[in-house]
């Protein structure tokens, strides 16, 4: 590989993709609440499962990041 050539874009790390998914679910829930709609149970179940995964990984010393604005690290 030429030293000036960048490699192709790879995958997001799992913990970033998971955190982004959690933010997406929370945003959708907020939209439903603002429209006085019932939040689907599947969303609650998925959010709880993702939160459990992130919590377990954080306790095990795996990388994670807080769910903040747009989920970005500073």
Size of the chain in residues: 74
State yes or no: pLDDT of 73 exceeds 60.
no
Three-state secondary structure call for residue 66: coil
What is the band of 65 on the pLDDT scale with cuts at 50, 70, 90? low
pTM of the model: 0.70
Q: What is the 3-state secondary structure (H, E, C) of the chain?
A: CCCCCCCCCCCCCHHHHHHHHHHHHHHHHHHHHHCCCCCCHHHHHHHHHHHHHHHHHHHCCCCCCCCCHHHCCC
Q: What is the mean pLDDT of residues 34-58?
A: 95
List, for residues 1-40, the tens digit of each pLDDT value.
Answer: 567 889 899 999 999 999 999 999 999 999 999 999 999 9
């Amino acid at each position: 590989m030429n030293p000036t050539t960048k490699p192709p874009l790879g995958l997001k790390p799992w913990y970033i993709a998971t955190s982004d998914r959690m933010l997406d679910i929370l945003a959708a829930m907020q939209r439903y609440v603002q429209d006085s709609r019932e939040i689907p149970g599947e969303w609650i179940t998925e959010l709880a499962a993702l939160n459990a995964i992130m919590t377990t990984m954080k306790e095990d010393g795996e990388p994670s990041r807080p769910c903040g604005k747009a989920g970005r690290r500073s």
